[in-house]
Structure 1
Amino acid sequence: MICTVTFNPSLDYIVRVDDMRLGVINRTTYEQVLPGGKGINVSIVLGNLGHESCALGFLAGFTGAEIARRVREAHVHADFIEVENGMSRINAKIKSNEETELNGQGPLITEENIEQLYAKLDVLGQGDTLVISGSVPNTLPGDMYERIMARLGGRGVRIVVDAERDLLTRVLPHHPFLVKPNNIELGDIYGAQLKTRADVVPYAQRMQREGARNVLVSMAGEGGVLVAETGEVFESPAAKGTVVNSVGAGDSAVAGFLAGLAETGSYETAFHMALSAGSASAFSDHLATRPEVEALMAR
């Protein structure tokens, strides 16, 4: 079983505006509404690649109901916890001369809601995979990642973490199965500028020594690096293509890695499937599909 956790899901309202100006009425030339959240993106791409998963997290209000509907519409099993106070956030992404984002707050999550999440996670055991990713809203304890990993410790659950800075470094002693920083995030953690794949390798190995079993580093147009628990190091340039939308590319890489590893048991194949899935999402206005990923892998 693969489960994903999105602590603060959203409805992403994506619009394009020609020459946006402040203080006047601006009219959109393109609109799209998508369920948002890193864990949700991972579940959707896993489904597109033919692998079932269960999406967990907290939802509230009419926006929460719409998120759940759209997730199920994407053929993902949704098992969200309904929160009483507030509403799930709407994130507006405005594409114009410059890109601007307005992100909502999200609902008030109570201790009872947290216990409900724990109850759902407690069914996981040997051979199961849990993906926890994204930011932690201020209505949750800042150490939610560590709490979850400590609770599931010793059960044989493979835990994947995709988060920034302290959220990531604090879980390393719990030995996550996979972490997926990008090169900028990895550099920020260690105070270095990592521009090339050669730059990335020693710092990914350092993160592995500090506790991560596998370290997958995405690098946008530069491709990526995988330092595997087998001791192998894989690196590859990115596929050629025109970037349409980078949102969800990193999440797609996580899904591609898990799908590739499940299908072949090969870290090398999992790595190339991860890069191809990330590129496939970046090259389109939707999340990666199986035919798109296979076409990029063949290239």
Structure 2
Amino acid sequence: MIYTVTFNPSLDYIIRVNHFQTGEINKTYYENILPGGKGINVSIVLSNLGHDSTALGFMAGFTGKEIENRMNNFGCQTDFIQVKNGLSRINVKMKSDNETEINGMGPKITDENIQELFEKLDKLTKEDILVISGSIPSTLPDDIYERIMQHLQDKHIKIIVDATKNLMMNVLKYKPFLIKPNNHELGELFDVTLNTQDEVIPYALKLQEMGAQNVLISMAGQGAVFIDEQKTIHKSPAPKGTVVNSVGAGDSMVAGFISGYLNSDGDYKKAFLKGICAGSASAFSPNLCTKEEVEELLRSLNQ
């Protein structure tokens, strides 16, 4: 089974407004409500690609129940922990002359809630894949990624980490199966600017030396670079298309990689190519990618 962890899920209220003005009444001409969070995005795309997964995380109040309902509508299994205090957040994402986001706080997560999460994680075996991604709410300890990986290190679970800065750097000693920074996040880790595929390779190799088994670097329009555990370097241009919405593209890449890896019995090249096509397909669509969209880009990339 594939498991995803989203520490602070949300309902994303996506609206579009013509020429938004502060202090005035503004009317929307488009609105949509989607379950949000990096791990949740991974689970939705996995479902679209034909894979079962279980979404773990914390939820609270009527908004939490609605997140769960909408996840189920996407065909995703959920096993969220019910938090008593607060509400699962609503994030407002407004597109007008500029893009504006207002993100909610989320519920108060207690030590008891954290223990419940660890009890669920204890059921995982070496046959499972665990995806940990996204930011940490203020009510969780800063080292929650490390705690999870340390707790599970003897179970030999394939753990994928998609996070930034110290959240990623501090878990490398636990040898995650895959990490997926983008080129800007990779540059931040080493205080450099990385614009080309050749420039990211030495720093991706450094992350391997620090413990990561496989390193996948997304680079938006520049394509992607993947260095597998045998230190084989894979590079690919980005598929051709028009970017409509980049939100969730990195999460889609993670889901596509997992799908390609499982469907090919561990062929890293196929996993990499499916990952980049899934990420691009989501970027080219107003919604997260479908199986048909990914397969169409795979065909174009292989031509």
What range is the shorter-chain TM-score in?
over 0.9
Counterparts of residues 25-174 of structure 1 (less than 5 Å): 25-174=25-174
Offset of residue 23 of structure 1: 1.2
Please state whether the residue corresponding to 2:154 is helix, strand or coil: coil
What is the TM-score normalised by the length of structure 1?
A: 0.99
Given residue 211 of structure 2, which amino acid in structure 1 is its aligned partner? G
CA distance in 2, matches of 1:97, 1:50: 37
Please state whether the residue corresponding to 2:94 is helix, strand or coil: strand
CA distance in 2, matches of 1:14, 1:219: 25
Given residue 293 of structure 1, which amino acid in structure 2 is its aligned partner? V
Is the counterpart of residue 251 in structure 1 residue 282 in structure 2? no
CA distance in 1, matches of 2:111, 2:37: 22
CA distance in 1, matches of 2:221, 2:15: 24
Offset of residue 89 of structure 1: 0.3
Please state whether the residue corresponding to 1:153 is helix, strand or coil: helix
Please state whether the residue corresponding to 1:75 is helix, strand or coil: coil
Please state whether the residue corresponding to 2:294 is helix, strand or coil: helix
- In structure 1, stretches of 5+ residues that fail to align are none
Please state whether the residue corresponding to 2:155 is helix, strand or coil: coil
CA distance in 2, matches of 1:162, 1:110: 24
Offset of residue 25 of structure 1: 1.0
Q: How many residues in Structure 1 have an aligned counterpart in Structure 2?
A: 299
Partner of 1:178: 178
Given residue 297 of structure 2, which amino acid in structure 1 is its aligned partner? L
Cα deviation per residue 1:249-288 (whole Å; 9 max; x = unaligned)?
0000000000100111210110000000001101111111
Partner of 2:193: 193
- In structure 2, stretches of 5+ residues that fail to align are none
Partner of 2:280: 279
What is the TM-score normalised by the length of structure 2?
A: 0.98
* Conserved? CA contact 1:128–1:156, under 8 Å: no
Offset of residue 123 of structure 1: 0.5
Offset of residue 64 of structure 1: 0.3
Given residue 267 of structure 2, which amino acid in structure 1 is its aligned partner? S
CA distance in 2, matches of 1:93, 1:291: 27
Offset of residue 69 of structure 1: 0.2
CA distance in 1, matches of 2:201, 2:22: 44
Given residue 190 of structure 2, which amino acid in structure 1 is its aligned partner? Y
Offset of residue 213 of structure 1: 0.4
Offset of residue 29 of structure 1: 1.2
Is the counterpart of residue 13 in structure 1 residue 6 in structure 2? no
* Conserved? CA contact 1:261–1:270, under 8 Å: yes
> What value does the CA root-mean-square deviation take over the aligned residues?
0.6
CA distance in 1, matches of 2:237, 2:28: 36
Please state whether the residue corresponding to 1:154 is helix, strand or coil: helix
CA distance in 2, matches of 1:241, 1:211: 35
Offset of residue 95 of structure 1: 0.6
Partner of 1:298: 299
Q: Percent of counterpart pairs with the same letter?
A: 58
Given residue 163 of structure 1, which amino acid in structure 2 is its aligned partner? A
CA distance in 1, matches of 2:32, 2:183: 29
CA distance in 2, matches of 1:256, 1:222: 18
CA distance in 1, matches of 2:233, 2:50: 27
